[in-house]
């Protein structure tokens, strides 16, 4: 008798899961193609005046780490790329073209905060870098000025 009851409960949960999956598929319009920000990071760095490979590497690491969130599903890859390049330049204290205190693209503040929250919540280092929120809040300077 108990075995029959467990099977009924199992069947009920199975049906609920299948209905939920169907709803998700319809909400996504059965589209599973996700364009990631990697190529946009490289293009954004190449277009900047200071096409610095260090910025590209740190920005790439930010994109890698952002995949632990839903950002790639919620924002366009170009927005993510521009934001992570901006974060990388602030982290490395290198000024790049278009770098400033104003948001670079709509939603960049949300993207930045969600990526930085990932590090503060998990203790995860930023890619190959040891990043803290304090180092990101400092002003940016040029690399040559920082070295002097």
Q: What is the rounded distance in angstroms from the CA atom of residue 18 to the CA atom of residue 13?
A: 9
Quick one: pLDDT at residue 97? 62
- Secondary structure element (H or E) that encloses residue 119, with its range: helix 108-122
Using the structure block, give the residue that is written with the tokens 């969130």: 69
pTM score, whole prediction: 0.62
Q: What is the tens place of the pLDDT at every residue in 101-133? A: 444 678 788 999 999 998 888 776 665 444 433
Q: What is the tens place of the pLDDT at every residue in 35-79? A: 889 999 999 888 875 678 888 999 999 999 999 888 988 899 999
Closest CA to 111 of 146, 135, 73, 79: 79
């Amino acid at each position: 008798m108990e075995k029959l009851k467990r099977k009924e409960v199992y069947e009920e949960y199975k049906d609920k899961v299948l209905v939920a999956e169907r709803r998700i598929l319809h909400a996504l319009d059965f589209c599973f193609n996700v364009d990631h920000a990697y190529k946009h990071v490289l293009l954004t760095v190449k277009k900047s005046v200071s096409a610095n490979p260090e910025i590209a590497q740190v920005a790439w690491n930010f994109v890698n780490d952002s995949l632990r969130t839903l950002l790639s599903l919620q924002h366009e890859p170009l927005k993510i790329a521009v934001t992570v390049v901006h974060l990388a330049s602030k982290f490395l204290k290198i000024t790049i073209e278009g770098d400033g205190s104003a948001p670079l693209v709509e939603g960049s503040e949300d993207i930045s905060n969600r990526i930085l929250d990932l590090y503060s919540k998990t203790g995860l280092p930023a890619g190959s870098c040891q990043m803290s929120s304090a180092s990101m809040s400092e002003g940016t300077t040029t690399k040559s000025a920082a070295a002097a």
